[in-house]
């Protein structure tokens, strides 16, 4: 059985490492998951995660570009539209 432990811990990034501001009591070898929120920046208030630009490549060609949005919406919502 896996015991889940959840807590918000503050840390400082120094010389390529995270230094915890308060020690935490975990068993030796415990696996942890880390989510980074940078304090004091506008990005930390957003719900959408930031991804590198190359992740956008997977989204290309999912939606075709072109057509007439007005005509399309009229066709869907106006019964008398021809």
**pLDDT digits 0-9 by tens, 36-47:** 877 765 554 555
Q: What is the DSSP string of 24-70?
A: ----TT---------TTSGGGG-SSPP--GGGGGGGTTSS---S-HH
Ranking 19-28, 41-50, 56-65, 69-78 by mean pLDDT, the lowest is 41-50
pLDDT-derived band of residue 67, with 50, 70 and 90 as boundaries? Answer: confident
Q: What are phi and psi of 18, to 5 degrees?
A: -90, 125
Which CA distances in Å does 75 have to 61, 66, 67, 69? 24, 16, 13, 10
Residue 63, pLDDT > 70, answer no
Place of tokens 């068993």: 27
Residues of the chain above pLDDT 70, percent: 71
pTM for the model:
0.39
Spatial contact of 21 and 10, defined as CB atoms under 8 Å apart: yes
């Amino acid at each position: 059985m896996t015991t889940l432990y959840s807590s918000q811990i503050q840390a400082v990034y120094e010389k390529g490492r995270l230094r915890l501001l308060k020690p935490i009591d975990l068993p030796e070898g415990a696996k942890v998951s880390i989510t980074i929120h940078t304090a004091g920046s506008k990005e930390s208030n957003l719900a959408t995660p930031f991804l590198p630009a190359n992740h956008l490549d997977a989204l290309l060609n999912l939606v075709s570009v072109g057509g007439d949005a007005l005509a399309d919406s009229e066709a869907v919502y106006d019964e008398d539209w021809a």
